[in-house]
Structure 1
Amino acid sequence: MVWFDWTLAHTLYRYLSPRLPLWLRGPFKVLLAEKVLADMAIDPVNQPGPQGIAAAETESWTQPVLNFDILDLSMSFLHTRDLLAVMRTCRALHSTGFRHLLAHGHSLHNWKKTKAFCEFVLADTPGRCNLIRDLDLKVRDEWKDDYPSNVISLLAKVLVNSRHISRLAISIGKKQYEEHPELGAALNALESLKTLAIYHGTEADGELLKGLKLPLTELNADFDEVMSSDVATNVLHNFVNSLETLSSKGLPLQAWSTSPFSRVRGLHFMFINRNYNTSILIDMFPHITHLSLEENYGMYSWGEIAIDDEVERGRALNQRNVKSSWTSLESVSGDFVSIYAAAITSKVHHLDTLIYNSDGNHLRAVINDMRPDELVLSIQSEKDNHNRNEEIDRVPVNGQPMKLLQAISQVPDATIYFDVDKWYDWNAIFVSFAALSIHFRT
């Protein structure tokens, strides 16, 4: 139990109450009310009432106390700045908040901050290391000086002693892996790791993945460098029985296992070199419920959808080769070009995409493919996307808005977001269609 005065009560009210979920605000109101009643109570020494032991028990009962479990739970909801403010109020709150402070996510994107963090944590090993749950590491920077060797060694020591890290995001240069093999060994020792994100991945990261023996449930693999076939083959095989969410950008198809990822439910995927092969996605991820597709090229001009002959060939190939479809798929989102080329024939509940003009014919084809119950459609600005300084506006022409309207009228629940300058030109056409929920961002 923690005794507190008006200063502490005011601090709790200021920092905790507005940030707590509704179900936790009630107990705090009661605690603060007890404090007010206690300060307004009549002095039992000068007024009739229980004497002796009974009086002592009554006086003790009227003193406001804060349940430590409620305090501990409440502080876990605070952001770092608010948590530090509460910790400064008294010694008990400082020690309580310390655990939550280290459990917060820490982004170490420069060597000075990394050095200070590591020295602080290693000052009490393994106590402080065991409190770390979430780290975001960037141990390379091509535009500034490289990380000093001693800082990387400190970081490796922290990782070796941090047995309870559950989420880790890394961007580590190939040079750092080569010069500090203890860094890779430390990453392999994170036995509690469940979520791993790799940004700007290189072949060294591929070798790291291939050697990991951890039961990851979520993996974000964003690779810039093309891996050799020896490294890429079955690079994700160790996670075939544990992965539930996968984001794959820049990973070649041979990186997957020969066995399907039957536990994966959420997939974010980027087709490489415009190789729109939907059948292999169905075979490798047969039970996904949420699919997000992304393009890796910039071929948009004047806000038009880049659906060219190559995209049409990819769509036609998928339509010819389709042997089955997802029966568990609930939602599809992402880039419209990839969605169109994928030719997904599964019935979905929710479709969310963005188009760069009002190409109703392509949208109608996608809607006919998936027959969504809900549609969230964003239409990008009418300005030239490559020349944003040029005030070039276009208005709906050639009856295209009506084609779009006819396409989305097939969806029971449709929401449209217009990011346009001359919104009134579109509004005149769409506002009369009562079934649509229309929003304009100008």
Structure 2
Amino acid sequence: MSTVWLHSGGKGWLILASNPTPIIEPDGLENLDHVDFNCVKLISIPPRRSDGSPVDSDGITECILYAGMRDPIFEVPGFPCRVPWPTKPAHTLEKIEGIGWGMFAKRNIKAGELIYAERPLLLSKVAWDPSRKCDDPQQRMKVAKVEAEHKLGEALKRMTPDRREAFRKLQNCHSHEVDCPQLFGILRTNGSAANDALKECIPSLPNNEYGSFKVVGETCSRVNHSCRPNARDHFELQSFSLQLTAARDIRVGEEITIRYVNALESRAVRQAKLDAYYFICSCRACTNSTISDHRRQQLAAVEPIESVEAVVRWLNDRALPDDHLEKKALKLLGLLEEEGLESLEIYWFCKQTLGIVYAALGNERRALKYLKEVITQQEAHERYDGMSATEYQRHDSEQSALRSTLVYDVFDYLMAFLETRELLSVMSTCRTLYNIALRHLLRAPIQLGLDTSRQTSFCDFVLADAQRRCSLIRRFGFYAFVDQLRTSDGAQPSCPIDKLIRVLGHSQNLRALEIGVSDELVTYPGFSRALTSNHNLKSLSFWCYTDSKETISILRSLQCPLVSLRVYFTANLTPDIQALLAHLAPYLQTLHTGGVKFPKTVSTPFTKLHTLTLRSRVMNFDAHHLAQLFPNLQSLVFECDVNPVDKTAIDDSWKRITPHKDAGWSRLQHIRGSVENLHQLGLTCPVDYVELELNVAADIDRAAEILDNLRPVKLRLYPPMLHRSMTAILPAMQRQKISHLILLVMMDTNLVIESPDIVQGEIEFIFKCLKSMEWVETFGLTIVTSGWLDFEGQDGSFHNAFDRMMAGLRSMRPKDFAAVAAEHIPRLRNLDLSIEYNSQSLWKIERLPGGGYSLEQRMYTDRSVTSSTNCV
């Protein structure tokens, strides 16, 4: 018994043809990581609930896998999402005389469109080890088949009665074979390959029978074979579904077919392999085999182009002719279409290649022709992943509204196609400029930061064709400070300031600008004129760390109606700043500022402003007058830099604020600040979302009063310690029945604590809190630690507590959180709990979209990490 493999496309996918499933000797597998080929497990995916009921209405797949395969599958991002649906039913099953069942198109189906998807009945390995109990080879093979039948029978017992019956009703073309048991024959007849999907999450699976797996679907098993198939089937891990998509346009009433064998082989070879299914193929390729065999022989003989490296090599090798890849791709494409082999992955790779080639040569019309087909085909498949038909229709309309031209899609595709290569570098060095990608590249946010080499590279690139390229820039930013503008020896400054100013001056279509500068740049020749000449600017973030009248003058000289402004001062230019704000009042919608003393008399209120962020060590305003100045405020954020040196000044400034119970903010929906901020503000109006920072122990007692005054529905707390904070605030949260609660506990570097068990104690306290939070729909907790956690011993010495803390965490069982949540919080829809150490997650639990919880644990011991993920 031989195994037939089909390799298709450069990125490749291996399909084990549905010829007899191999019975093989284990060989050379002992060194593979994680997977134990000597141990077979029966697993239900998605997992069942504790009472055995399914967690997913799409059904459960019973799996026969090697030990160690379960966890990598569960770690797939987004797993398990819902099985995708077509927008409209696309198929029907009908009886075909002399053949059996077949699938037919119920309507016209476009290439790339999803025809059908289902959760498979079974996923099984195909390699069964011969028994070592006897020496006779034939007898050992028989015993192996019996063992396989036994394991398949156990898997069927785990199925629901209707799915078990559906499996047994599937075609078994090996039923007349004496040595082929029934279930084993059904698997051999109906199995579709799942190798590629599994290798994505388990790269250590070998490219032999031990790495081969089959899925059996109830409906997809009814699809018949053709050597000119109009559809292809594939298994997707994220939704754990077997999916059938159209390889080319399919007319209503046309039979939907896939291929069982390597389509590039000759008719004689194909038919020999199809003999395992006991039928003779009569498709057009087989009835006119002389011409078809010749074309397929040509296809097999053409030098492969299916690799990204080949395209990039052509892009940068000037010695290769312009039509080097074009001729090859066009020839392949023509042969594939003549033979009806659009289902092969190389067909779409040819179109991708032609799109890139024509884009590089500056032929926009042809590039769009091919890339549009590729992108449309990819989106037609991807739009269904995890979406219902209604969700897709809403998503599709939103996407259409966002896209005015195809160039955005083309650019995204080019970026993905070139992978790690920096597109800007490729555009500057290879062939003709990527005119298609250029527009999207320059319209994307461009933040050059402090990197002078990056600043120089970008400026040189756009200034080479300044009038055209700079006009495309929409969002731009850079930083330039004193040490970059001056050199002690009089040499050229490291910052290309002249070039940056030229780019700024030419970019007349700027919508958003973020710059960080010092007085040296504010007064630099040409800067003021370059900035103020732009009449289309809507958003400005101006980080000027030293106040000057020149800065205020520049901002007042702007001729554009700014809607968003981020700027900071030190309050020593108050009259000028007030005049500036009065100038911007009719337009601003978002203001992020600090160091501003707002006037007590309001002449020009900010009627359009909805978001206000105030950042300062000293707050200089009156709450009542602030409300008059910003009457339609929806979000108010206080960002105060608190340190011991300024504590007295801050206290004094907040005491001078006049509390105002409702402040006239009838539209206020969000407020963030410290307990001290909000207590002094004294608001009593309802606020939907409150973010509350507790800096010192005294804040905890006042936090409950603030919650009662603001009556939030959503609350985010930043408590210094969880136990005491929650004990004091929990009654207020119960009174307000807060539905969304997020807790972020920061344990600072070198924190001195009384016991190394304090973190564990904080977590255990959550168990008690969860049981009294039956009103909560969303709950999140993150405990962040960094540096070393120390505690003071009885002898006054300090000891490292990290090891003891880790030992305590190992005794914790994250799944207990899920059990408590499921039992005591009936409304809970979202749960996210995690502990982080030095930006690394120690363990994390989150609710899955389809039900159940994902548990991820990482334990750090002597700088090593072990990780595991489970679902409950």
Q: 1:257 to 1:133 in 2, by over 3 A?
A: farther
- Of 713, 726, 734, the residue aligned with 1:373 is 713
Q: Whole-Å Cα distance in 2 between the matches of residues 143 and 152 of structure 1?
A: 9
CA distance in 2, matches of 1:221, 1:253: 15
Decide which of 372, 375, 378 is 1:68's aligned counterpart.
372
Q: Of the candidates 729, 732, 757, which is equivalent to residue 407 of structure 1?
A: 732
Opposite residue 652 of structure 2, the aligned amino acid is: E
The residue number in structure 2 matching 1:218 is: 564
Matches of 1:374 and 1:348 in 2, distance apart? Answer: 9
- Distance change >3 Å, CA 240–CA 123, structure 1 → 2: same
1:163 partnered with 2:508: yes
Q: 2:437 is matched with which residue: 97, 106, 110?
A: 97
Name the counterpart of 1:350: 689
C-alpha change, 1:7 and 1:220, in structure 2 (3 Å) is farther
SS in 2 for 1:431: helix
Q: Distance in 1 between matches of 2:11 and 2:603?
A: 60
Would you say the 8 A contact 2:623–2:663 is kept in 1?
no
- The CA distance in 2 between the partners of 1:293 and 1:8, in whole Å, is 52
Which amino acid counterpart does residue 73 of structure 1 have in structure 2?
A: Y
Instruction: Kindly state the Cα deviation for residue 150 of structure 1 after the two structures are TM-superposed.
Output: 9.3
Paired residue for 1:248?
Answer: 593
In the other structure, the counterpart of 1:432 is: 768
SS in 2 for 1:253: coil
The answer for the alignment partner of 1:392 in structure 2 is none
Deviation at residue 326 of structure 1 after TM alignment: 0.4
After superposition, residues 149-188 of structure 1 pair within 5 angstroms as 151-180=496-525, 182-188=526-532
Distance 1:86 1:107 in 2: 16
Q: How many corresponding residue pairs?
A: 397
Name the structure 2 match of 1:386.
none
Match for residue 473 of structure 2?
Answer: 132
Matched, 1:237 2:582: yes
What is aligned with 2:655?
313
- 1:405 counterpart letter in structure 2: L
- Given candidates 739, 759, 765, the residue that maps to 1:423 is 759
Q: Deviations along 1:356-406, whole A, 9 cap, x unmatched?
A: 3454321022112211122111213x5xxxxxxxxxxxx96xx77532333
Cα distance in structure 1, aligned partners of 2:744 and 2:641: 24
Q: In structure 2, do the counterparts of structure 1 residues 200 and 226 end up closer, same or farther at CA, with 3 Å as the change threshold?
A: same
Distance 1:306 1:7, change over 3 A: farther
Partner of 2:603: 258
- Given residue 409 of structure 2, which amino acid in structure 1 is its aligned partner? S
Normalising by structure 2, report the TM-score.
Answer: 0.40
Per-residue CA deviation, residues 146-178 of structure 1 (Å, 9 max, x unaligned), is: 683993332222122112211111122212222
- CA–CA distance in structure 2, aligned partners of residues 266 and 377 of structure 1: 21
Deviation of the 1:258 alpha carbon: 3.0
Residues 277-327 of structure 1, C-alpha deviation per residue, up to 9 Å, x if partnerless? 2112211111011111121331399xxx99996377346x324xx674200
Letter in 2 for 1:130: S
Cα contact 1:360–1:405 (8 A) shared by 2: no
Rounded to whole Å, the distance in 2 between the matches of 1:196 and 1:256 is 27
> Which of 448, 459, 466 is matched with 1:107 structurally?
448
Equivalent in the alignment of 1:52: none
In 2, Cα distance between equivalents of 1:430 and 1:150: 52
- Inter-CA distance 160–355: structure 2 relative to 1 (3 Å threshold): same
Paired with 1:254 and 1:342, the residues of 2 have a C-alpha distance of 17
Residues 133 and 167 in structure 1, CA contact (< 8 A), matched pair in contact too: yes
1:245 CA drift (Å): 0.9
Residues 279, 256 of structure 1: alpha-carbon distance in 2 compared, 3 angstrom cutoff: closer
Pair 120,230 (structure 1): closer, same or farther in 2 beyond 3 Å: same
Equivalent residue letter for 2:760: Y
Q: Which residue of 1 aligns with 2:291?
A: 46
C-alpha contact 1:212 1:238 (8 A) present in aligned 2:
no
Contact 1:278–1:344, Cα closer than 8 Å, also in 2 = no
Indicate if the aligned counterparts of 1:377 and 1:415 stay in contact, CA closer than 8 A: yes
What's the counterpart of residue 193 of structure 1?
537
Report if aligned partners of 2:719, 2:725 keep a CA contact under 8 Å in 1.
no
* Residue identity opposite 1:134 in structure 2: R
Once the 2 structures are TM-superposed, how far is the Cα of residue 337 of structure 1 from its aligned partner?
2.4
Higher-helix-fraction structure: 1
Whole-Å separation in 2 of the counterparts to 1:248 and 1:267: 8
**CA distance in 2: counterparts of 1:307 and 1:234, whole angstroms:** 27
Q: 1:415 and 1:300, CA in 2 relative to 1: closer, same or farther beyond 3 A? A: farther
Write the distance in 2 (CA, Å) between the matches of 1:415 and 1:306.
31
CA deviation map 1:229-270 (0-9, x unaligned): 453231123322221111112233259983111111111113
Q: Provide Cα deviations, 1:11-45, integer angstroms capped at 9, x if missing partner.
A: xxxxxxx9xxx99xx999669974999x8695999
**SS of alignment partner, residue 523 of structure 2:** helix
Q: Which moved more, 1:226-235 or 1:204-213?
A: 226-235
Structure 1 counterpart of 2:767, which letter? Answer: V
Higher Cα radius of gyration: 2
8 Å contact from structure 2 (residues 617, 650) kept in 1: no
Give the Cα separation in 1 of the matches to 2:601 and 2:477: 25
Contact 1:235 1:256 in 2 (8 A): no
Q: Distance in 2 between matches of 1:218 and 1:33?
A: 48
Distance 1:255 1:126 in 2: 47
For residue 180 of structure 2, what is the aligned residue in structure 1? none
TM-score (norm 1): 0.73
Unaligned 5+ segments in structure 2 are 1-7, 14-76, 88-109, 115-244, 249-257, 265-283, 294-333, 352-369, 376-405, 748-755, 786-872
